[in-house]
């Protein structure tokens, strides 16, 4: 048995940690259970899974090499029970194939930006501090937020601000971006924050927090292809869930939660025509929902971690196999 001391835990509190453990527990308590942490981050949820369920095997993925390095140190004491993979979560089926794993008993998604990405100023995710406009979760690939701002057409900028940021003044903000980048390309966040603030009517600025929040959300989603990835990731993860296995998803904005809800509700709904006297098994639901709508964080959970305030948690269980 190893006597090595655990790596010091990073200073962050995983969102709704015990609620996630309790939701997964009925599916992963048996020997041989495999759990996928689709969004490893700093490894807080994974550490709890490995600690509270001593016979579980963990497969954890993250697209951020820096997060993998830190969480790898944190989870090193668990040895071969933890397999960490540099991948995006829509690649989970391929990751499991590479490991020779056909079915898993649990999947956990903690969507959005990790604590580490928000807290490191040079990543450019936070609008509250000046930083290079990067916003890539994996800084080894893809366009940065600055490249999006400096190269996208007015129409494309307005579209992503409206759709991904749900920004009422998307067209006006896009016009100002296009005008201002002709004077000087965008490189840092403070200039963008000030521009957005000035583009929005004063009456609107007085409510709803920082007026740049929606613009930064839209850029982050575009840069990382978050909704397209999630649209592939949820059905991909569900396809590898064993009967009796559970999926837990925490979303932080309405676009994510809406997409997750659609997939889970579709699996939990019969596809039989109304009035059919006998419903064949293949038309019966193959998922069972364990949350009534989306569960919100409690006041205590928000007090422990303010980043839990917008979270929407959904839990579902596979109750039968499906064909195809």
Residues in binding site for S-adenosyl-L-methionine: 43-45, 62, 89, 110, 117
Residues near 182 by beta carbon (within 8 Å), at least 6 away in sequence: none
HSE-up of 307 (CA within 13 Å, CB side)? 19
Tokens 């019966």 correspond to 284
Q: Judging by beta carbons within 10 Å of its beta carbon (0-12, 13-18, 19+), is residue 100 exposed, middle or buried?
A: exposed
CA distance 132 to 121: 8
Instruction: Give Cα 50 to chain centroid, integer Å.
Output: 21
Handedness of CA 285, 237, 25, 105 (dihedral sign): positive
Question: Please, are residues 290 and 316 in contact by the beta-carbon 8 Å criterion?
Answer: yes
Locate 82 and state its tokens: 């933890």
Question: What is the number of other CB atoms lying within 10 angstroms of the CB of residue 258?
Answer: 13
Question: Per the annotation, where are the binding residues?
Answer: 43-45, 62, 89, 110, 117
Q: What counts of helices (H) and strands (E) characterise the chain?
A: 14, 7
Handedness of CA 300, 257, 219, 166 (dihedral sign): negative
Please choose, from the candidates 41, 54, 35, the residue with its C-alpha nearest in 3D space to the C-alpha of residue 13.
41
CA distance 243 to 67: 31
Locate 48 and state its tokens: 């709890």
Question: What is the number of other CB atoms lying within 10 angstroms of the CB of residue 151?
Answer: 12
Cα radius of gyration (the chain): 21
């Amino acid at each position: 048995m190893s006597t090595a001391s655990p790596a010091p835990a990073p200073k962050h509190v995983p969102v709704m940690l015990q609620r996630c453990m309790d939701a997964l527990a009925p599916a992963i308590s048996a020997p041989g259970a495999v759990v996928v942490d689709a969004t490893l981050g700093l490894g807080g949820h994974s550490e709890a899974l490995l600690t509270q369920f001593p016979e579980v095997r963990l497969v954890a993925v993250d697209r951020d090499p820096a997060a993998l390095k830190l969480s790898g140190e944190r989870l090193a004491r668990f040895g071969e029970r933890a397999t960490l993979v540099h991948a995006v979560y829509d690649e989970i089926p391929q990751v499991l194939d590479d490991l020779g794993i056909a079915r898993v008993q649990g999947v956990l998604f903690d969507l959005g930006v990790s604590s580490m990405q928000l807290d490191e100023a040079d990543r450019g995710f936070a609008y509250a501090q000046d930083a290079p406009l990067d916003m890539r979760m994996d800084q080894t690939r893809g366009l940065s937020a600055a490249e999006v701002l400096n190269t996208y057409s007015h129409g494309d900028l307005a579209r992503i601000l409206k759709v991904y940021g749900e920004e009422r003044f998307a067209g006006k903000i896009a016009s100002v971006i296009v005008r201002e980048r002709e004077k000087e390309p965008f490189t840092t966040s403070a200039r963008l924050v000030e521009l957005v603030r000035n583009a929005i009517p004063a009456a609107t600025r007085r409510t709803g927090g920082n007026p740049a929040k929606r613009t930064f959300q839209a850029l982050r989603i575009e840069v990382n292809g978050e909704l397209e990835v999630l649209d592939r990731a949820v059905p991909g993860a569900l396809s590898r869930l064993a009967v009796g296995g559970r999926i837990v998803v925490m979303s932080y904005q309405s676009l994510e939660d809406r997409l997750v809800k659609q997939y889970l509700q579709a699996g939990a709904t019969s596809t039989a025509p109304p009035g059919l006297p006998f419903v064949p098994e293949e038309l019966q639901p193959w998922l069972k929902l364990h949350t009534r709508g989306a569960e919100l964080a409690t006041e205590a959970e928000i007090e422990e971690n303010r980043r839990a305030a917008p979270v929407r948690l959904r839990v579902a269980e596979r109750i039968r196999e499906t064909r195809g």
